[in-house]
Amino acid sequence: MKIVKAKETMGARERVQKTFAHEKTDRVTIGYDYNEGIHRRLKEALGIGETDEEGLLRALGVDYRGISAPYTGKPLFPEIPNRQRNQLEGCVMRWVEHGSGGYWDFCDFPLQDADDEAFAVFPVPNPDDFDYGAALETAKIYGKDYGVYTGGPGIPDIINSNGRIMGMEDVLCHLQGQDEAALAFMRRRADFQLKSLERLLDKCKDYIDFVWFGEDLGTQHSPMISRELYLETMKPIHRKFFDLAKAYGKPSIVHTCGSSSWVYEDFIEMGASGVDTLQPEAANMAPEYLKARFGNRLCYRGCISTAGPLAYGTPQEVREYVQRTLEIMMDGYGYHFAPTHQIQDNTPVENVTAMYQAAHDFGVYR
């Protein structure tokens, strides 16, 4: 099995930069998000070694690579038997088996039902405890051949990332009730992320092409919170991150799951360059709606649903689905081809290869 890539007339880094500038490229910029099970099977199908991550990205035609600064500080949280502990967040995960393999699911929320003191003393990393020099060396390597980004969907991700620590119900109740101890903790975490990101941008500014942020704000059918609550509590935090990207002259893209287009005008006002995920089955998130409502005021990354033909269709249905999506999203340039979420383990590997082959077949600008 092999993916025949489109003829390329420009490098990946130039392609990424031009996509953010809404300028014509040779083909669409390509991204890839995955769960471990399908990732492993895809490498096997394409004849790529089990540990050859770069080999798979090159085979698919992925145009950018992410960098981060490794944590060098002391452990902040004790390990827990039969659990996995994130040392930067403190969240706890357990392994859950399913028919296609398994995944690490969040559990045992350490700040669920927490009192004020527990919020005040819960550890948050120190921005000094990261190796920004190591990030620079990685950026130099990737920047020779690819676009480079920093950040990610978990920054600042106020609702979802804090939900991993205190549970989603508690997060939403604390936000709605304006619980000051909980809000102070959320701001403290965001402040750490902002300062660490600033240090990394300053160190690697000559190599970074865009900054990635994230915030889950929608269910499949409606906003997760009111716009009034967003404006009062969350937008001031988000603005600091957008302002940081602008201060370094970097475009920014924002990951938003579910029905999230209700907040895109606020993202545009704050200076966002693009939006990511774009689950077409969610309310007001279809490609046609997004292009009609926001036009080329945003770049778009995603739209290839992981819950539609990719998971449940045939390779031909995937191919036709990708072609229809590309016909809509390529208009006016500015489209980053990618799945709406991590490709799930129940996805047939033939459908994944059909998806990326279709991107190379139909994602060429004439």
pLDDT of residue 86: 96
Query: Could you report how far apart the first and last alpha carbons of the chain are, in Å?
Result: 27
pTM: 0.96
pLDDT of residue 101: 80
- Of the candidates 327, 301, 315, the one whose C-alpha atom is nearest the C-alpha of residue 356 is 315
Look at residue 176 and tell me if it is in a domain.
yes
pLDDT tens profile 220-241 = 999 999 999 999 999 999 999 9
Dist. CA 314–CA 333, nearest whole Å: 28
- In this structure, what token pair is assigned to residue 197? 């990101």
- 78 by Cβ neighbours in 10 Å (0-12 / 13-18 / 19+) ranks as exposed
Look at residue 80 and tell me if it is in a domain.
no
Q: In what order do the strands lie in the sheet with 252-256?
A: 29-30, 335-339, 299-304, 274-277, 252-256, 210-214, 147-156, 64-66
Give phi and psi for 328, each to the nearest 5: -80, -50
Look at residue 134 and tell me if it is in a domain.
yes
Query: How far is CA 39 from each of CA 3, 81, 184, 186, 327, rounded to the nearest angstrom?
Result: 15, 27, 38, 33, 27
Residue 309: CB partners within 8 Å, gap ≥ 6?
A: 317, 318, 320, 321, 351
pLDDT tens profile 177-199 = 999 999 999 999 999 999 999 99
Residue 325: CB partners within 8 Å, gap ≥ 6?
A: 280, 287, 303, 304
Angle (CA) 63 67 72, round 5°: 165
Q: Which domain holds residue 211?
A: 12-74+116-362
Question: How many residues can be counted in the chain?
Answer: 366
Look at residue 99 and tell me if it is in a domain.
no
**Per the structure, how many domains does the chain have?**
1
Look at residue 153 and tell me if it is in a domain.
yes
- In this structure, what token pair is assigned to residue 301? 């990354």
Dist. CA 192–CA 237, nearest whole Å: 12
Q: Which CATH number covers residue 249? A: 3.20.20.210
Look at residue 225 and tell me if it is in a domain.
yes
Look at residue 110 and tell me if it is in a domain.
no
Low-confidence ranges of the chain (pLDDT < 50): none
Look at residue 28 and tell me if it is in a domain.
yes
